[in-house]
């Protein structure tokens, strides 16, 4: 006798198992685009697929249905108009030599420093019209509509962080900027331009604002003291990418 009916029953029971359904729903809630699926008035191909998935199996709970809807959410998040992104300037920051200091400082001091650095950096970014996308431990990723504002924010953040003192330790922030059109997924940004910005930041020295050529081209260079960083090479960045150390000229 074939085992096929037993396999089908097992798959059906597994699909309807309470724990599996709850796990699939939790995953779906964490998936970008949760609010975009199966809008009643929408008639995109993805909406039609979502309706078919939602109707499959009637009122019975289904882990497979939840996972199917999660897949449609990702599809819609990636294809939504404007998701490919308008042009933004991406800023990355982190602390120079932080890991070595943290090993000696202890958890309480580390947490206090990270909180102070995070508060200062977030305040500067917001004041300059940017938005912090996410925290990265000892740094942040932020985006700006205006490149000039991003450069000013980076320079101001470097100065503000250098004024912090914790048990005799003075942190140094390094920053890197790149302008491009990253793909926006939910609240995050992904793509080559994000990677380039991160690589530029990683090459900066303490207190330095390092700016890619495409970003510098968006501003009046006469407003800054500009020095080209020679022989910049980083994995994942264009071979012909020029990078510049930039200091704002303040009247």
Q: What is the pLDDT of residues 93-117, one digit of tens each?
A: 999 988 888 888 888 999 999 999 9
pLDDT of residue 127: 93
- Work out the average pLDDT over 28-37: 52
CA-based torsion, 210, 214, 218, 222: positive or negative: positive
Given a contact cutoff of 8 angstroms between Cβ atoms, the answer to whether 179 and 89 are in contact is yes
**Residues 179-232: pLDDT tens digits?**
999 998 888 999 999 999 999 999 999 999 999 999 999 999 889 999 998 777
Instruction: Using a cut of 0.75, tell me whether the model's pTM lies above it.
Output: no
Tokens of 154: 């980076």
- With 0-12 / 13-18 / 19 or more C-beta atoms within 10 angstroms meaning exposed / middle / buried, residue 152 is buried
Residue 74 has pLDDT above 80, yes or no: no
Residue 229 to residue 206: CA distance in whole angstroms: 15
pLDDT of residue 69: 67
Tokens of 186: 């939910």
pLDDT of residue 39: 40
The domains found in the chain, sorted by start residue, are: 4-76 (no CATH), 88-248 (3.30.70.1230)
Angle at 250 between CA 247 and CA 251, to 5 degrees: 155
pLDDT of residue 82: 40
């Amino acid at each position: 006798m074939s085992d096929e009916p037993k396999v089908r029953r097992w798959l059906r029971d597994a699909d309807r198992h309470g724990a599996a359904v709850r796990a699939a729903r939790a995953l779906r809630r964490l998936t970008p685009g949760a609010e975009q699926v199966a809008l009643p008035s929408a008639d995109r191909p993805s909406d039609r697929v979502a309706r078919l998935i939602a109707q499959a199996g009637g009122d019975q709970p289904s882990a497979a249905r939840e996972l199917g809807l999660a897949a449609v959410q990702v599809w819609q998040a990636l294809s939504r108009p404007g998701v490919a992104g308008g042009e933004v300037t991406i800023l990355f920051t982190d602390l120079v030599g932080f890991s070595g200091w943290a090993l000696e400082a202890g958890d309480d001091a580390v947490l206090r420093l990270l909180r102070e650095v995070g508060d200062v950096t977030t305040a500067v970014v917001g004041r300059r019209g940017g938005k912090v996308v996410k925290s990265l431990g000892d740094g942040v990723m932020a985006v700006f509509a205006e490149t000039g504002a991003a450069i000013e924010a980076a320079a101001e953040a470097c100065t503000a962080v250098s004024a912090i003192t914790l048990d005799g330790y003075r942190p140094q922030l390094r920053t890197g900027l790149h302008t491009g059109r990253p793909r926006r997924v939910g609240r995050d940004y992904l793509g080559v331009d994000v990677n380039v910005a991160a690589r530029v930041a990683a090459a900066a020295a303490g207190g330095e604002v390092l700016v890619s050529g495409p970003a510098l081209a968006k501003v009046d260079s006469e407003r800054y003291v500009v020095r080209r960083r020679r022989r910049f090479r980083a994995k994942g960045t264009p071979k012909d990418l020029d990078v510049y150390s930039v200091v704002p000229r303040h009247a």
